Amino acid sequence: MQQPITLQSLLQQDSELSSLPEIFIRVSELLDDEDSSAPQIGRVVETDPSLSSRILKMVNSAFYGFPHEIASISQAISILGRDRIRQILIGAVLGGIFGNMKNKVFFMEDYWYQSVKTAILSRLLGKQSHLEQHSEVLFTAGLLHQIGRLILVQKLPEQSMEIQLLVESTEENVLQAEQCILGFTHCDVGAAFIKMWGLPDILVQIAGHYSDPSKASSFEEETRLVYLANRISFLLAPLAVEELEFALDDIPDWQQTGLDQDQIMESCLVADEQVYQVMESLGMVQLKIELDED
């Protein structure tokens, strides 16, 4: 008789997801070491040409908007600082692990569009709030907030299809369907894997509780902001004021973020301009999309 799947058994499966790539660990250790230099870190990153390319594409994108091209990883570290580089590194590594993953449950580009837009919105909203000092890590938190869904479709493809069919045939949402079929949710999975990877607790809390920020044991304000970003990420450009008002009416306690409607609208407009370029920079779409075409 086949043993039932548990969250613990999922974590213990031998797979490439058990730990982040060695290059990430080596670079993270150097970023933590105050005695390491930017050229030293750059040389390690550049041993992985694909990772190096994704990082440089990201730092030279409109997302950061530097007036001159940044030509090397060491220059990027000197200009952006170690904390920003760490967040870009996480995104670039994710793009390498999951960027080309295929599944039969949902379209990967749709998944990345929503995750990247949530990430950009989280950063923009954070910069306009009293959480400005966390704006870079909020980008990473937005990028990772539904990583449990990707892990489930990769490790449990048949059950993931059952979950999708249940959602389509009933009034259950994804979380309810996951709980019904698996006994745990993608939020549980995402938080558990992020913790196993040794990433900061703020990322664990947000991935685990973005759908219900009041349950976060810490970083509740940050979790609430990513929850807001997630909910408005589905609004499509060109966005009308009335559409945003209608969406916010359906989002409980959004005012607790301290943001006003004008700030949220501004963030939505900027996110729509940046989302595809960030996806391309991080390796989450295969074809470059020119945003400045007539």
Q: Other C-beta atoms within 10 Å of 143: how many?
A: 26
pLDDT at 23: 92
Determine the pLDDT at residue 173.
95
Which amino acid, residue 285? V
Burial of 238 (0-12, 13-18, 19+ CB in 10 A): exposed
What digits encode the pLDDT tens for the residues 182-205? 999 999 999 999 999 999 999 999
Can you give the pLDDT of all 294 residues of the chain as single tens digits?
A: 456 789 999 988 867 777 888 999 999 999 999 999 999 999 999 999 989 999 999 999 889 888 899 999 999 999 999 999 999 999 999 888 887 778 888 888 899 999 999 999 999 999 999 999 999 999 999 999 999 999 999 899 999 999 999 999 998 999 999 999 999 999 999 999 999 999 999 999 999 999 999 999 999 999 999 999 999 999 999 999 999 999 999 999 999 999 999 999 999 999 999 999 999 888 887 544 444 444
Residue 149 has what pLDDT? Answer: 94
CB–CB of 161/105 below 8 Å? yes
Q: What is the dihedral of CA 199, 202, 189, 96, to 10 degrees?
A: -50
Digit-coded pLDDT (tens) for 52-76: 999 999 999 889 888 899 999 999 9
- DSSP string computed for 143-175: HHTTHHHHHHHHH-HHHHHHHHHHHHHSS--HH
Q: Can you give the pLDDT at residue 283?
A: 82
Phi/psi for 216 (5° steps) reads -65, 130
pLDDT digits 0-9 by tens, 67-114: 899 999 999 999 999 999 999 999 999 888 887 778 888 888 899 999
Domain at 102-288, CATH homologous superfamily: Hypothetical protein af1432 (1.10.3210.10)
pTM: 0.92
What is the DSSP track for 6-52?
Answer: -HHHHHHS-STTSS--HHHHHHHHHHH-TT--HHHHHHHHTTSHHHH
Q: Are 267 and 126 in contact (CB under 8 A)?
A: no
Whole-number Å distance between alpha carbons of 139 and 119: 4
- Residues spanned by CATH 1.10.3210.10 within the chain? 102-288
Burial class (CB in 10 A: 0-12, 13-18, 19+), 250: exposed
Predicted pLDDT at 201: 96
